[in-house]
Amino acid sequence: MKRSLIAAGAVIAAAALALSGCAGTASDTSASSTPGKTTLRVSVWNYAQTPEFKALFDAFHKANPNITIQPVDILAANYEDKITTMLAGGDTTDIITVKNLTDYSGYAQKQQFVDVSDIAKSLPSDKIPALANYDFKGKTYAIPYRQDFNVLYYNKTMFKDAGVADPTNLTWKEFAADAAKLTKGDGASKVYGAYIHTWNSMVQGIAAAQTGNNPNDPSYDWMKDQYNLTLGMQNAGTIMNWATANSQQVAYKDVFEKGQAAMVPMGTWLIAPLLADKAAGTTNVDWGIAPLPQIKANGKITTDGGPTGFGINKNSKNQAAAKKFLQFAVSPEGAKAVASIGIVPAYHSPDITKAYFALDGMPQDSTSKKAFNPDTIKLDAPVAANTAAIGTILNQEHQLIMTGSKSVDDGLAEMASRVKSEVLNQ
């Protein structure tokens, strides 16, 4: 699942610094250890605007005062490319934050991380469902500290004003019907019933999760209904045109906070900035979350999502201390630190959920709490060596379908043909 990194600085001090000084950069190799003390260098993105890192690092340092964390700060837009270059060049940054499973598959395939299967086997898998996502050919090379999944954000005031019932458990067809009722106005003042972001995962990943299909298998007819629904809404004007959203680099957070759309399917990572912006007074949106709409109305909630985790660089000189950090990050104590700023931790328990919903500004209605506990969270892409290459093709064809450059049938057929010839050599 993709994730857009949004400033949530009102939750903690916006000028967040590292524990013992300013955050380092990817070119800073000055970290050193003194007798009895260790400095762990951890790659992060947009450190000052991503408060989960400081919250977790501070909590770990408090529990382990002889280990200091030095963030290696990298621009979010360049993060994956920079990490690839660092690892290929033998960089010794101790811990690599793994943004998504596509990147993880590449690191694991190249054996650039330390095998941490021993840590994984010692953890309560029933409380850390995302742990299984890091299984790569029977071994584990990263440990999750957070797990995000898609929910439906909705503007309670807009629903009430339009006389539309809260979206307690919608199908996608009902979602489209509600969007039509909620759409009003035109031009610059138009309010859309919904906003569906430009990522291919918002169509393809959701379809994969809710139909049980694998995007790495080169047959994509199962995406057709979800594309037809999305394009139908686009043609009806109840969601923003994909090409407009893409060319204007529309931020889904802004669309929702400014009241430009009544519903936004999006990951749980949006909760933290919504809480921060409400606290800062930069938005007054009265929001709630509901379960992600379903393809089939069977009473069960299936959504898509994925973990964010930490892997230990095989070139690290501090692997024992690094393992201690990974164990803390996934522990109940690490979960409390992450949840305290509105991030969904990988470790699940009733106490963590209770603490999460006790945050100032969190919706307290039963629908929001139900959305927070879906029946199933499935990956929108498998952990496999060819996932990245296949994902590139699927994204390219997604853009052509959404802009009308190809029909749905032609685009899906081209996906299958290209995956077979360009990736699978069939």
Sign of the CA dihedral with 152 first, then 157, 160, and 162 last: negative
The answer on 181 and 132 residing in a single domain is: no
Judge whether 421 lies within some domain.
Answer: no
The answer on 125 and 49 residing in a single domain is: yes
Question: If we measure between CA atoms, which residue out of 195, 205, 209, 210 comes closest to residue 154?
Answer: 195
The answer on 168 and 136 residing in a single domain is: no
Contacts with 74 (C-beta within 8 Å, 6 or more apart), sequence order: 25, 26, 43, 44, 45, 82, 83
Judge whether 274 lies within some domain.
Answer: yes
List of long-range contacts for 227-234, beta carbons under 8 Å, 24+ apart: 227/203, 227/401, 227/408, 227/411, 227/412, 228/408, 229/172, 229/173, 229/176, 230/196, 230/203, 230/402, 231/401, 231/402, 231/408, 232/176, 233/176, 233/179, 233/194, 233/196, 234/402
Judge whether 393 lies within some domain.
Answer: no
Judge whether 282 lies within some domain.
Answer: yes
The answer on 220 and 343 residing in a single domain is: no
**pLDDT score, position 10:** 34
**pLDDT score, position 12:** 32
Judge whether 139 lies within some domain.
Answer: yes
Question: Residue 157 belongs to what domain range?
Answer: 149-304+371-379
List phi, psi (to 5°) of 66. Answer: -90, 0
The answer on 329 and 237 residing in a single domain is: no
Low-confidence ranges of the chain (pLDDT < 50): 4-22, 29-32
The answer on 266 and 179 residing in a single domain is: yes
Judge whether 6 lies within some domain.
Answer: no
The answer on 249 and 233 residing in a single domain is: yes
**pLDDT score, position 17:** 32
What pTM was computed for the model? Answer: 0.85
**pLDDT score, position 215:** 95
The answer on 143 and 157 residing in a single domain is: no
Residue 51, Cβ density class (10 Å: 0-12 exposed, 13-18 middle, ≥19 buried): buried
* Residue 137 neighbours by CB distance under 10 Å: 10
**pLDDT score, position 212:** 95
Q: Are 158 and 191 in contact (CB under 8 A)?
A: yes
Contacts with 179 (C-beta within 8 Å, 6 or more apart), sequence order: 192, 193, 194, 233, 238, 239, 262, 263
Q: Whole-angstrom Cα distance, residue 108 to residue 119?
A: 16
The answer on 277 and 314 residing in a single domain is: no
The answer on 294 and 268 residing in a single domain is: yes
Contacts with 331 (C-beta within 8 Å, 6 or more apart), sequence order: 347
Judge whether 288 lies within some domain.
Answer: yes
Contacts with 359 (C-beta within 8 Å, 6 or more apart), sequence order: 275, 339, 340, 342
The answer on 93 and 168 residing in a single domain is: no
The answer on 183 and 134 residing in a single domain is: no
How many domains does the chain contain in total? 2
**pLDDT score, position 19:** 36
Judge whether 396 lies within some domain.
Answer: no
**pLDDT score, position 425:** 92
**pLDDT score, position 48:** 87
Instruction: Specify the CATH number for the domain of residue 175.
Output: 3.40.190.10
